[in-house]
Structure 1
Amino acid sequence: MPLDRFQEMQIFTRIVDRRSFTQAAEDLNLPRATVTNSIKRLEARLGVRLLERTTRQVKPTLDGDAYYQRCMRLLADLEETEEVFRDTDPQGRLRVNMQGTLTQYFVMPRLPDFLARYPRIELFIGSGDHFVDLVREGVDCVLRAGELADSSMIARRVALLEQVTCASPAYLERHGDPESIEALAGTHTEHPGRAGQRAVNYVSPATGRALPLEFTTPEGIVHVTLPGPVAVNGAELYTAGALAGLGIVQVPRYRVRELLANGELCVVLPAHPPPPLPVSVLYPQNRQLSLRVRAFADWLVQVFAEVA
């Protein structure tokens, strides 16, 4: 049975997104030959070459790029129109990428509830803090913590997580427990003879630079940059550095609640906590928000409201 034109558009746009016939076929659960023959028929019918094929990748021609933009608008309109009238639950494959600690603490323990609620969704979860090219990698949405700087994405905030500044008792014994932001920053010394304050510096995956410590005051947010013996780019390593006595850290309270309760970590400057950490779902702005993504985002809002 020949493919209809909308199916051909779906195949073509997926090839452009993934820059690969093989990966497009896998995403759409189609034989590789079906995808190849569909593009041949499409190009023959239109009388133009839509894709440039090399041994390493596939990319659209100028005509292909123009056709891609029109296809995306048509497919988005079609999906939106069908969802208005479709009296069924969301269905199909949903590919998401989430930060590991958020996934571990909030999402995975409650995932059976989501799958029971939406049994026709096939969920694939990737994990990491790295930048994800959603279109190129075929990801529908990502869950990220922190302030967002990528203007090419649409973000929906799902939570604000309380944060805390903390250090190990051994570290505070060596360096002193600062009683003010000024003392922490070293503008005056409360404990003569003790080594100055240190931080386990967290390197932003987006910028490659160490993030400063942040403290709330009546006048606003104060940023403090401290030297440190080690810099990390992972959440678990960051907490492990504090436990090892390497320096001060600022983390969401949920990650260290038990460590604070059993005394393995101590709160530093409780009168000036870090600002809360935003958590957001992001998806490409040039894409129609599918029913699957909308259902997942709504569920995440509910999850964080219950447990954060």
Structure 2
Amino acid sequence: MDQLSAMRAFIRVVETGNFTRASDALRMPKATVTNLIQGLEAHLHTQLLNRTTRRVVVTTDGALVVERATRIIAEVDELDGSLSNATGSPSGRLRVEMAGAFADWIVIPALCDFYRKYPDIRIDLGVGDRTVDYLAENVDCALRGGSSGDQSLIARRVSEMGMITCAAPLYIEKFGVPETLSALETDHYCVNYFQAQTNRTLPFEFRKDGATVAVTGRYMISVNDARSYLTAAQAGLGIARLPYFLIPDDLRTGKLIQILPEWDIEPVPLYIVYPSNRHLSNK
């Protein structure tokens, strides 16, 4: 029996909750995963999982084994990674999730330069702002704007997005320009953004002289995708807060016009997010 493979299979079954998702994540037949688990149980002379038709439950002995096995696998992976780093460039598959705006405006345009440096990396890029099950879907990491709020994930800050408040000429012609935040809240329409995971609408937050003011304005449309948010702003459906990297051409050509420039907006941090129990390889 390949004990390391058996431990990897056992850990993934525990993480995902059943053999089918574990086999998909490991990219091996379900029968192979089953045989590895049975071989590990026979080797250890104990039952590690209680199996039902719908799910598996870890036994007391299984909980002890998965804790120790996770540490062992992490140490082996770290050893492999350190040796690979010393002898060659990173290689293999990297499964990444991110919002469409990050993919289209930031990541994909930079991939040619990336592949000149790392030609042996293959990227599977999932595009969207949905909730990700990192373990069941075998996702290595995600690029996210703002904090995730999920305490089970590790977030490493890698950059930030400058934000700007703006509106299309079509909107300004119809509704004018708000002179104050009170006018923005009561007399105007905003393009609102709600989080796909929680359905929570994000308020407009402004800073001035050390004070922060949150505005929740009326809206004609609220969306949960940055590209659609930009399109709604360009169509004159409301005042929007947009990342500057999305709109330099629109500001230069007058397709969008900055408003309330005297009020600052806190930059939005960008994080690489990954599960706390996943070892990071060279990739």
Tell me if both proteins adopt one fold, taking TM over 0.5 as the criterion. yes
Amino acid aligned to 1:47: H
SS in 2 for 1:215: strand
Q: Where in structure 2 are the equivalents of 1:88-103 lying within 5 Å?
A: 88-103=88-103
Who is 1:44 aligned against? 42
Paired with 2:82 and 2:40, the residues of 1 have a C-alpha distance of 29
Q: Where in structure 2 are the equivalents of 1:121-270 lying within 5 Å?
A: 121-186=121-186, 196-270=187-261
Asked whether the 8 Å contact 1:97–1:143 carries over to 2, the reply is yes
Deviation at 1:69, TM superposition (A): 1.7
Paired with 2:18 and 2:95, the residues of 1 have a C-alpha distance of 17
1:170-227, Cα deviation, whole Å (9 max, x unpaired): 21122221223343244xxxxxxxxx11111111223312111111211232211111
Asked whether the 8 Å contact 1:168–1:264 carries over to 2, the reply is yes
Asked whether the 8 Å contact 1:203–1:231 carries over to 2, the reply is yes
Amino acid aligned to 1:137: E
Asked whether the 8 Å contact 2:100–2:227 carries over to 1, the reply is no
Deviation at 1:4, TM superposition (A): 2.1
Deviation at 1:26, TM superposition (A): 4.1
Who is 1:81 aligned against? 79
1:248-295, Cα deviation, whole Å (9 max, x unpaired): 110101112222222222111112132111111011122322221xxx
Asked whether the 8 Å contact 1:141–1:281 carries over to 2, the reply is yes
SS in 1 for 2:255: coil
Amino acid aligned to 1:158: V
- TM-score after normalising by structure 2: 0.90
Who is 2:281 aligned against? 290
Distance 1:114-1:12 versus aligned 2 partners, 3 A rule: farther
Asked whether the 8 Å contact 2:21–2:136 carries over to 1, the reply is no
Asked whether the 8 Å contact 1:72–1:287 carries over to 2, the reply is no
Paired with 2:193 and 2:30, the residues of 1 have a C-alpha distance of 44
Q: After superposing the two structures, state which structure 1 stretch, 152-161 or 238-247, moved more.
A: 238-247
Deviation at 1:23, TM superposition (A): 4.0
Aligned-residue identity in percent: 41
- TM-score after normalising by structure 1: 0.83
SS in 1 for 2:22: helix
Q: Where in structure 2 are the equivalents of 1:2-13 lying within 5 Å?
A: 3-13=1-11
Asked whether the 8 Å contact 1:19–1:58 carries over to 2, the reply is yes
Paired with 2:99 and 2:255, the residues of 1 have a C-alpha distance of 25
Amino acid aligned to 1:113: D
Paired with 1:211 and 1:275, the residues of 2 have a C-alpha distance of 14
Q: After superposing the two structures, state which structure 1 stretch, 42-51 or 207-216, moved more.
A: 42-51
- Out of 67, 70, 77, the residue aligned to residue 69 of structure 1 is 67
- Out of 28, 31, 36, the residue aligned to residue 30 of structure 1 is 28
Who is 2:14 aligned against? 16
SS in 1 for 2:77: helix
Paired with 2:194 and 2:277, the residues of 1 have a C-alpha distance of 30
Deviation at 1:35, TM superposition (A): 2.0
Paired with 1:267 and 1:185, the residues of 2 have a C-alpha distance of 17
Paired with 2:248 and 2:24, the residues of 1 have a C-alpha distance of 42
Who is 2:117 aligned against? 117
Paired with 2:56 and 2:128, the residues of 1 have a C-alpha distance of 27
Paired with 1:40 and 1:167, the residues of 2 have a C-alpha distance of 62
Paired with 2:147 and 2:32, the residues of 1 have a C-alpha distance of 43
SS in 2 for 1:85: helix
Paired with 1:265 and 1:154, the residues of 2 have a C-alpha distance of 36
**Which runs of no fewer than 5 residues in structure 2 stay unpaired?**
none
